[in-house]
Amino acid sequence: MKQVKPSFIGAKTLCALALMGAFSAQAQAQSSVTIYGRVVAGVDIMTNVPKNDGSGTTGTRVRSASNQWGTSMIGFKGTEDLGGGTNAFFLLESGFGSTTGGLNGTDINGTSLFNRRSYVGLSSANAGTLKLGKNLFINNDVWFLDPTGQQWIGTANLVRGRNWPGASNVIEYTTPTFGGFGATLQTSLGEAAGSFSKGGTSTKYGRKDGLSLVYQNNGLELRGIYDVVRDPNGRYTDVYDTSKELILGGTYKIDKLKLFLGYENLRAPDVNVASGAPDRVNHYWLGANYDVTSQLQLVGSVFHVNANNGNGSANLFMAGVNYFLSKRTLLYVGAGTMRNGNNANYSLEADSSTGGGKGTNQTGGYFGIAHSF
């Protein structure tokens, strides 16, 4: 049988293809871009919701649910290996309402194209991580302490969303982890000469600053968060909006059970107390997640708040079920009841417009599908 030798040109072509493949593999290892996201939708039911006819009466409302379990979003993120253990990265993320497809103009995300996050940064295992741009405000680390995972019946309700805003004009630094300890510092600059105006998510906010500390050891996780949000004049004039915030808490995982405990204090020393508004709020909660199987998770939590200056107290009870059809697709059910004291008017869900008035109790919940990609 005659043996055919490869030609010189063919050999060069094979070498070139091999080199191109090697360079391509190297480029892919050094730089990558990922498109990711989540779509959440379902049905929401709540009692004692104010009617829109101006009668001052309430009724039961049934509506489509968009983000009650978690935010629908789409994002783009990328990294590049700069060598020596240093990476450059970026992230662009937009939250939207799945029931309409529109940007979330009715919540903390706002109507900007990338209304949740848009930052660029550098990271190193030895030097830490630096982020510049727009990000979630540092108190969103309460997510790690929330038994519900910041659902619409969760830690945000009894502080009227104070612990989940966004932040613009951000400079953020996260330390490496040392012996289980880590820290993040963040500032959201006001960017106006002679004042604190134009910072945060809109012009009503001034400069925001915060510090988040964490300690992790086996199944134990402890966190402490302190932050301040100023009004355009640099003052603290609304306890639920422009105030000083302290969050302390921890979680402990024992086999299939994860326990949660948290405390939050809000202070607004510049509030006009003569108006009847509170200048101090104390918020407590405890809860648990239990993994019945790898697919079925049970959620339970209790929240309590007390606002001074005669603004009363309230208790919130929540129970939920998460059923994972796969790693990407989830069926969820969340139910709860808000028990307001005589002077309190908190809403069952993290939407202050749905509160039924002082002393009004609400019961309801939601169910739906969440799919991540």
Q: Which of 303, 334, 305, 299 is nearest to 316 (CA)?
A: 303
Q: Is the pLDDT of residue 21 over 90?
A: no
Q: What span, in angstroms and rounded, lies between the C-alpha atoms of 101 and 17?
A: 45
Which stretch of 131-140, 157-166, 307-316 has the lowest confidence by average pLDDT? 157-166
Cβ(313)–Cβ(307) under 8 Å?
A: yes
β-strands 181-188, 86-96: how paired?
unpaired
Amino acid identity for residue 15 in this structure: C
Phi first, then psi, for residue 141 (nearest 5°) are -65, -10
Q: Is the pLDDT of residue 24 over 60?
A: no
Instruction: State mean pLDDT over 113-118.
Output: 93
CA 81 to chain centre: 28
Which stretch of 19-33, 97-111, 130-144, 202-216 has the lowest confidence by average pLDDT? 19-33
How do residues 217-244 score in pLDDT, each as one tens digit? 999 999 999 999 999 999 999 999 999 9
Phi first, then psi, for residue 139 (nearest 5°) are -75, -5
Q: What span, in angstroms and rounded, lies between the C-alpha atoms of 285 and 315?
A: 10
Looking at residue 13, its pLDDT comes to: 36
Contacts of 26 (CB under 8 A, 6+ apart): none
Domains located in the chain, CATH noted: 34-372 (2.40.160.10)
How do residues 160-182 score in pLDDT, each as one tens digit? 999 988 999 999 999 999 999 99
Instruction: State mean pLDDT over 13-39.
Output: 59
Q: Is the pLDDT of residue 263 over 70?
A: yes
CA 162 to chain centre: 12
Residue positions counted in the chain: 373
How do residues 270-281 score in pLDDT, each as one tens digit? 999 999 999 999
Percent share of the chain, pLDDT over 90: 75
Q: Is the pLDDT of residue 25 over 50?
A: no
Sign of CA dihedral 111, 114, 117, 121: negative
Q: What span, in angstroms and rounded, lies between the C-alpha atoms of 69 and 323?
A: 13
Looking at residue 18, its pLDDT comes to: 42
**How is 128-143 classified by DSSP, letter by letter?**
EEEEEEEEE-GGGGGG
Which stretch of 105-109, 186-190, 303-307, 336-340 has the lowest confidence by average pLDDT? 105-109
Looking at residue 147, its pLDDT comes to: 98
Looking at residue 15, its pLDDT comes to: 37
Contacts of 121 (CB under 8 A, 6+ apart): 88, 89, 90, 129, 130, 131, 132, 172
Looking at residue 363, its pLDDT comes to: 97
Residue 11 — pLDDT band, cuts 50, 70, 90? very low
Q: Considering the chain, what is the average pLDDT of its residues?
A: 88
Cβ(159)–Cβ(264) under 8 Å?
A: yes
Amino acid identity for residue 4 in this structure: V
Contacts of 296 (CB under 8 A, 6+ apart): 321, 322, 323, 324
Q: Is the pLDDT of residue 109 over 60?
A: no
